[in-house]
Amino acid sequence: MKHLEWDNLHVLLAVVRSGNLKRAAQRLRLSTATLSRRLDALEEQLGGQLLERSSTGCLPTAFGQRIAGLAEQMEGAANEILREADSPENVEGTVRVNADEWLSFLVIALLAPIRPRHPLLDMEVLTTPHPVNLARREADLSLRYAEPETRDLVAEPLGEIEFALYGASHYLDRHRPALAARDWANLDFVGLEESRLDQDLETWWQGLDGAPRRGCAATRPSESTTG
């Protein structure tokens, strides 16, 4: 006997459980004609009639009931394999997550609860001012502020980040007239030096009225944190 197609047994189970070709086809997202052809192929391969078909539905023959029972056992074994594969004990290796300094602190906090559930999993947070090259396996995941330009990466939106200007209350109290007039030239700003600015942040910064000038730039060497 040739190799038995599990997909055809899956079709048989769907028909037996629904009692109707049309409902089974909808559940499997197949056309009724395709489903019927697969049943015919299965009956021909097994050498026996599996279903009694009528205008009101389908009922399994005695032979069909035995085959469906065995197919259910196969389905159960396949599900058990998937559960075993998804077991926390089987999750191991190293996952490297790339983020800039702003997000690294949040990433480390979010990763902390994962370690107790997956003790064999090593997690590294790679802190860099700009995204690393995922195609070269410099990291497995990268948190970015904008969609990647290359189309061979899978991007998933996580949320939105809003930018704003903040100041110490005593400084703001002393410079309220300049703040009200948006007189940036008479105000001092602290920010990242230009080579470390994300493009979206730089665009927002330059879009402010008068484009505030950074009087002081904060920077420090990149570090890789292992957790």
Identify the structural domains of the chain with CATH numbers, from first to last.
6-85 (1.10.10.10), 169-217 (no CATH)
Q: What is the pLDDT of residue 88?
A: 63
Using alpha carbons only, give the angle 75, 80, 82 rounded to the nearest 5 degrees. 95
Question: Residues of the chain with pLDDT > 90: what percent?
Answer: 29
Q: Average of pLDDT values for 56-70? A: 92
Helices 21-28 & 32-46 angle (0-180, nearest 10): 100
| Cβ–Cβ < 8 Å for 198, 206 | no
What span, in angstroms and rounded, lies between the C-alpha atoms of 24 and 32?
Answer: 8
Rounded percentage of the chain residues whose pLDDT exceeds 70: 83
* Predicted local confidence at residue 210, as pLDDT: 61
221, pLDDT greater than 60: no
Q: What is the pLDDT of residue 54?
A: 86
pLDDT in tens, 81-96: 887 777 666 678 899 9
Residue 177 pLDDT: 92
* Structure confidence by residue, pLDDT tens digits, 176-216: 998 888 887 788 887 666 655 566 667 777 777 665 665 54
Q: Side chain identity at 190, as an amino acid letter?
A: V
Could you tell me which of 136, 133, 56 has the C-alpha nearest to residue 98? Answer: 133
How much is the average pLDDT of 141-156?
Answer: 80
- Which pLDDT value is given to residue 226? 39
| pTM for the model | 0.46
Instruction: Give the pLDDT confidence score for residue 67 in this predicted structure.
Output: 93
What are 52's strand-pairing partners? Answer: 59
Rounded Cα distance between 4 and 201, Å, is: 58
Q: What is the pLDDT of residue 194?
A: 60
Residue 169 has pLDDT above 50, yes or no: yes
Is 43 in contact with 95 (CB distance < 8 Å)? no
Q: What is the pLDDT of residue 160?
A: 78
Q: In this structure, what token pair is assigned to residue 55?
A: 């205008």
Which carries the bigger pLDDT value, residue 101 or residue 26?
A: 26
Q: Across residues 30-53, what is the average pLDDT?
A: 92
Q: How far apart are CA 196 and CA 217, in angstroms?
A: 10
Summary mean pLDDT of the chain: 81
What is the pLDDT confidence band of residue 217, given thresholds at 50, 70 and 90?
A: very low
The stretches of the chain forming alpha helices (DSSP H) are 6-18, 21-28, 32-46, 62-85, 101-111, 114-117, 169-174, 176-180, 199-207
pLDDT band at 109 (very low <50, low <70, confident <90, very high): confident
- pLDDT (mean) for 16-39: 91
Q: What is the reported pLDDT for 41?
A: 92
